[in-house]
Structure 1
Amino acid sequence: MTQQRGFSDQMYLGGWCLGFALQPSTFRTYEEKGPTLEVPSQFCFMKFNSSLLRVREGDGQLTVGDAGLDRERLCGQAPQCVLAFDVVSFSQEQFRLIHVEVEVRDINDHAPRFPRAQIPVEVSEGAAVGTRIPLEVPVDEDVGANGLQSVRLAEPHSPFRVELQTRADGAQCADLVLLQELDRESQAAYSLELVAQDGGRPPRSATAALSVRVLDANDHSPAFPQGAVAEVELAEDAPVGSLLLDLDAADPDEGPNGDVVFAFGARTPPEARRLFRLDPRSGRLTLAGPVDYERQDTYELDVRAQDRGPGPRASTCKVIVRIRDVNDNAPDITITPLAAPGAPGASPFAAAAAAAAAALGGADATSPTGPGTPEAGAISLVPEGAARESLVALVSTSDRDSGANGQVRCALYGHEHFRLQPAYAGSYLVVTAASLDRERIAEYNLTLVAEDRGAPPLRTVRPYTVRVSDENDKAPLFTRPV
């Protein structure tokens, strides 16, 4: 097995060539074929969404599919976006498996975007120079240098400036910083314009109106005992109602100025709001719905604490909820039968699927509901003249759990004429271990067993059938002398 890697910028139209082809595979042939014989090779996907990429059968050239590539749709905010898939290179007598990885690089196709066009802010006239007022951070769907780089005020001579910072956890935060003392009696409000800009070439930008209202003094903000970032661990089988954290932010001011209410910030996603409940009065964070480690293992919640004074002051705390895995998923087994060399059909899988379907009364052996599914057992068709080490099927295993709970070992049982050969992580090849004779054994009923390393371990058992097709290897015999 070989591996190849390439890259592509996002948003190319269908049919665009990636600029590289899969390296040709070298196959062995027999010496009696002669020195001028060419052994052609063909290429095709094992299993992959062909609307994204296409492989040319004759020379393995990769091109972008009709759907094009959109990095944000494929990978979101992930720092690296890689499309990984397997390609089979095959000749008349042999197969070779090629693992390909295509990195989709970001282009600056999104401008920064403010959560809303009008942003109101209130500040006390007693606020000290250097006071920081949290602002809602613009969102830019691009990553890296193409993402958000700066937020500033369009007015050069206002008593404020905007500072964009990156926290220790990598998230960005924007603050409106007071540069000079305010006097409400001289000016009660400021109308400013915020400008957000990314680092693309050329850069993209967006604006929002910032309204600053000056109020009488409320000179203390709520303070979280956990600081700006709090982390908590939660088992994925924790019952609804479990307490995660008691935030309990305190404000030393008196009366309404020290009365604190809690709410989720604008950057808390809807899914997190559905799964977690924040008591607006006490700041107790509890579980409101079941969580699943395999679906999502980390949630980030922005919690905002604000007092009830005139000109309320607020603080934010980022709560990171890490879901702890439990061994609640058995391994998955996927069996992909491969056709015999030289079998008819447009792809190397057509013969196996057609033969299995015909033998089972017309059902599609590779369809999601046919007998080729894991529930009903997969079927391979192998000619009795196949040599040892002939490739029969690709077996892929996976386990959605993590750590030892997700480490899978696989075994093949049923007959010594077949064995498992490791291909790459989580994948195996079923190959022949001996010569086959249909007149002796026409069908092999094998069993694949995948087991994880959890405590206790979970296992999955899948039946697998290999049928031996006949070849004209016997001469006629007279049953009595003539």
Structure 2
Amino acid sequence: MKQRHRERRGVCANRTVCFVLFAAFWSCALAQLRYSVSEDVDEGTAVGNVAKDLGLERITLKDRAIRVVSGAAELLFRINDADGVLYANQKLDREEICDRKRVCVIDVKIALDNPLEVHYVSVEILDINDHTPSFPDHERILEIIESAVPGARFQLKAARDADIGSFSVQQYKLSQNEHFRLEVKSSGDNRKTPILILQKPLDRETAKSHVLLLTAFDGGKPPRSGNMTIIVNVSDVNDNPPVFSQDSYVVHLKENSPVGTTVIQVTATDLDEGSNGEVVYSFGSDVDPQTSELFHLNPETGVITVVGEIDFEESGRYEINVQASDKGAATQAAEKTVIIDILDINDNAPVIEVTSFSRALPEDSKPGTTVALISVRDSDSGINGKVLCFINQNLPFTINPSSQNNMYSLVTKQVLDREQQTQYEVMITAKDAGEPSLSSEKSITVVVSDVNDNVPTFSQNPINFYIKENNSPGKTILSVTAHDSDDGSNALISYSILREKDGDNLFTSFLNVNSETGQISGMKSFDFES
């Protein structure tokens, strides 16, 4: 890619040639660089030498402004226009910038002016182990009946760590004891949930309670850790746990479903009698707060309903642990995972962004000259996020897709004439492929600037005129006027008399013309007899 960039700079050594051929080679400017920087670096830390890696000479930066044009990236990074080095604009906090995304990559658009070039730089912010695992509760109390058989499982709340990858929670350790061992369940989102497993029967008459210490470790070197105290109270017999009616629950739900929509109903039964057989439902201990803000579980009926805004773009799938518990003195519970797949609907219109725009376009611009660079994005997925971009017809412009996804260039398709039309209103329309389709429009004004492409013309040509003899020298004998269709300084006219070098026409030597007004005066008195 660097070699392609250097070849382009060779072509563009002549500014005029570069301007004419910009459209043909503009995609060469879309060089892709990738840097990485650890979070928590100080403000002003150098990320990478963009100018050097793109093969830009210092003499190029001397005459051309270089800047960061991305929206959010402008707050995080800046570029030195003297040497082209990209710097951190503030102290970087990966967890604040990218939340818990596995890969934290910031796309930075860098533009060079005169002529316009856009380069794309990806900066990956690397995680450091700057957070300690912590449990939602410092203490967990479990009520376990003495008749519980070995192998009984009790899911605990997972420890959280704001770091990701190897720096997140990697393992758990249970304090030494003879009744319980620990098992760790891994879910698809790299979450590890501890499960307490009974390995030796409990005897309430021997010990009414057991105190355990659960420790969570992350993968740092050295690792960070957090603790939770588990108090196990041994209670008398309630020997039948609730049993769910299905082995699995999977349901499909459209995004934007209104509040109150029934998602699914789960049911469980308990063979015990009285309060030991009465079942209530609740979300499992591992359900995060964001999910509980979107869905409600009726504790009596097991019906799950919508209570928040369901947005496919936020999450396309929810896995919710539902717990069925009896009302016995020593509660027994069973858990089942309900999977809710969110179906995307076309609820986001495309967004048009003009990333670079030349407002004044010379009228002698060659066909193919780039006028503007346009990016289009649609937050929907699949066919709902596929976007087509076009402009209004009967204009001397066309819009071309680029090698970058959802990037377009607005270019001229014919020679312009300022004297025919001084500006154009270009309406850019972006339309997605959803059903029904959504679209957006954005208007830009292209001003055609003047070049000196018209010659002055006399209001009368040829001019026949008569003068009387014995005229007064210096007096005006004739006025001429001319007009130029160009604008500004290109339309300013000066007058002069063409003097013949061979001197045959002596008459012109006796005339003088005012260069600004076109008034012609005789420098002598003419004699008809002469």
Q: 1-side partners of 2:441 and 2:101: how far apart?
A: 35
1:308-347 mapped onto 2 (5 Å cutoff): 308-339=327-358
CA shift for structure 1 position 163: 2.0
Q: CA RMSD in A?
A: 2.7
The answer to whether the aligner puts 1:445 opposite 2:404 as a matched pair is: no
CA shift for structure 1 position 285: 0.9
> For the structure 1 residues 226 and 148, does the alpha-carbon distance in structure 2 shift closer, same or farther, using more than 3 Å as the test?
farther
The answer to whether the aligner puts 1:134 opposite 2:163 as a matched pair is: no
- Give the letter for the 1:85 counterpart: V
Q: 2-side partners of 1:130 and 1:275: how far apart?
A: 34
> For the structure 1 residues 337 and 82, does the alpha-carbon distance in structure 2 shift closer, same or farther, using more than 3 Å as the test?
closer
The aligned residue for residue 56 of structure 1 is 80
Any idea what SS the aligned residue of 1:74 has? helix
The aligned residue for residue 378 of structure 2 is 399
The answer to whether the aligner puts 1:125 opposite 2:125 as a matched pair is: no
Q: 1-side partners of 2:235 and 2:315: how far apart?
A: 43
The aligned residue for residue 114 of structure 1 is 135
The superposition leaves residues 323-355 of structure 1 with CA deviations (integer Å, 9 ceiling, x where unpaired) of 21222333222224524xxxxxxxxxxxxxxxx
The aligned residue for residue 47 of structure 2 is 18
Q: 2-side partners of 1:102 and 1:245: how far apart?
A: 43
Q: 2-side partners of 1:224 and 1:173: how far apart?
A: 22
**Contact preservation (8 Å) 1:409, 1:452:** yes
The answer to whether the aligner puts 1:223 opposite 2:255 as a matched pair is: no
CA shift for structure 1 position 383: 3.0
CA shift for structure 1 position 276: 1.7
CA shift for structure 1 position 19: 3.9
CA shift for structure 1 position 474: 5.0
Moved more, 442-451 or 428-437: 428-437
- Give the letter for the 2:150 counterpart: V
> For the structure 1 residues 447 and 226, does the alpha-carbon distance in structure 2 shift closer, same or farther, using more than 3 Å as the test?
same
> For the structure 1 residues 407 and 239, does the alpha-carbon distance in structure 2 shift closer, same or farther, using more than 3 Å as the test?
same
Identity %: 35
1:138-217 mapped onto 2 (5 Å cutoff): 138-154=159-175, 156-167=176-187, 170-217=190-237
The answer to whether the aligner puts 1:277 opposite 2:296 as a matched pair is: yes
**Contact preservation (8 Å) 1:42, 1:57:** yes
**Contact preservation (8 Å) 1:107, 1:142:** yes
The aligned residue for residue 376 of structure 1 is none
Q: 1-side partners of 2:138 and 2:129: how far apart?
A: 22
CA shift for structure 1 position 192: 2.1
Find the partner of 1:422 among 383, 395, 401.
401
1:1-40 mapped onto 2 (5 Å cutoff): 1-22=30-51, 40=63
The aligned residue for residue 105 of structure 1 is 126
TM-score with structure 1 length normalisation?
A: 0.82
Larger Rg: 2
CA shift for structure 1 position 272: 2.8
Q: 2-side partners of 1:116 and 1:387: how far apart?
A: 70
> For the structure 1 residues 336 and 243, does the alpha-carbon distance in structure 2 shift closer, same or farther, using more than 3 Å as the test?
same
Find the partner of 1:65 among 89, 92, 109.
89
* Structure possessing the higher relative contact order (Cα contacts under 8 Å, 6 or more residues apart): 1
Any idea what SS the aligned residue of 1:141 has? coil
Find the partner of 1:236 among 255, 274, 281.
255
CA shift for structure 1 position 476: 5.3
The superposition leaves residues 437-475 of structure 1 with CA deviations (integer Å, 9 ceiling, x where unpaired) of 322221012221211112332222333221112345556
**Contact preservation (8 Å) 2:66, 2:111:** yes
CA shift for structure 1 position 110: 0.8
The aligned residue for residue 303 of structure 1 is 322
CA shift for structure 1 position 420: 1.4
Q: 2-side partners of 1:185 and 1:38: how far apart?
A: 84
> For the structure 1 residues 212 and 403, does the alpha-carbon distance in structure 2 shift closer, same or farther, using more than 3 Å as the test?
same
**Contact preservation (8 Å) 1:256, 1:307:** yes
> For the structure 1 residues 292 and 130, does the alpha-carbon distance in structure 2 shift closer, same or farther, using more than 3 Å as the test?
closer
**Contact preservation (8 Å) 1:233, 1:324:** yes
- Give the letter for the 1:53 counterpart: F
Moved more, 184-193 or 242-251: 242-251
**Contact preservation (8 Å) 2:322, 2:338:** yes
CA shift for structure 1 position 262: 0.9
The aligned residue for residue 46 of structure 1 is 69
Q: 2-side partners of 1:37 and 1:184: how far apart?
A: 83
The superposition leaves residues 19-66 of structure 1 with CA deviations (integer Å, 9 ceiling, x where unpaired) of 443556579xxxxxxxx9998554212223322111222343211112
**Contact preservation (8 Å) 2:253, 2:340:** yes
**Contact preservation (8 Å) 2:174, 2:215:** yes
CA shift for structure 1 position 165: 2.0
The aligned residue for residue 455 of structure 1 is 435
The superposition leaves residues 295-343 of structure 1 with CA deviations (integer Å, 9 ceiling, x where unpaired) of 443334332221111221222233332221222333222224524xxxx
Instruction: Give the number of the structure whose residues are more often helix, by fraction.
Output: 2
1:284-295 mapped onto 2 (5 Å cutoff): 284-295=303-314
The aligned residue for residue 83 of structure 1 is 106
CA shift for structure 1 position 416: 4.3
Query: Which portions of structure 1, spanning 4 or more consecutive aligned residues, are displaced by more than 6 angstroms?
Result: 36-39
TM-score with structure 2 length normalisation?
A: 0.75
**Contact preservation (8 Å) 2:399, 2:411:** yes
The superposition leaves residues 275-303 of structure 1 with CA deviations (integer Å, 9 ceiling, x where unpaired) of 32211012111223442334443334332
Any idea what SS the aligned residue of 1:51 has? helix
The aligned residue for residue 411 of structure 1 is 390
